[in-house]
């Protein structure tokens, strides 16, 4: 059975039982890839290595927001 056939079967069952339809296959793939990268960056920080990517950018934004800017 292919993934499309399984999705159609699950959608049919959900409709008959009055439940919400399952998400389409592949609709959350990019979110999963992003979360995997964030998890790897988190593990790097816990292990004592520097973070890279989105997590590092978020941390640097947070830290720079806390520092008072000179002359402001």
Q: List the helix and strand counts (H, then E) for the chain.
A: 3, 0
Judged against a pLDDT cut of 80, whether residue 70 lies above it is answered with no
Stretch 1-28: mean pLDDT, rounded? 90
Q: What confidence category does residue 11 fall into, taking pLDDT thresholds of 50, 70 and 90?
A: very high
With a CB cutoff of 8 Å and minimum separation 6, the contacts of 45 are 51, 55
- 72 in any annotated domain: no
What is the reported pTM?
A: 0.43
> Using CB atoms within 10 A of its CB, is residue 56 exposed (0-12), middle (13-18) or buried (19+)?
middle
- 49 in any annotated domain: yes
- 36 in any annotated domain: yes
- 7 in any annotated domain: yes
> Looking at residue 55, what is its pLDDT?
66
Could you read off the pLDDT of 33-69 as tens digits, one per residue? 888 888 888 888 888 877 666 667 777 777 777 666 6
- 20 in any annotated domain: yes
> Looking at residue 53, what is its pLDDT?
67
- 71 in any annotated domain: no
Number of domains in the chain: 1
Q: What residue numbers bound the domain in which 43 lies? A: 3-66
């Amino acid at each position: 059975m292919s993934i499309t056939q399984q999705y159609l079967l699950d959608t049919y069952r959900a409709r008959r039982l009055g439940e919400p339809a399952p998400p389409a296959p592949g609709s959350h793939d990019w979110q999963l890839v992003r979360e995997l990268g964030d998890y790897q960056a988190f593990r790097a920080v816990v292990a004592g290595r520097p973070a890279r990517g989105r997590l590092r950018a978020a941390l640097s934004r947070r830290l720079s927001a806390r520092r008072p800017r000179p002359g402001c």
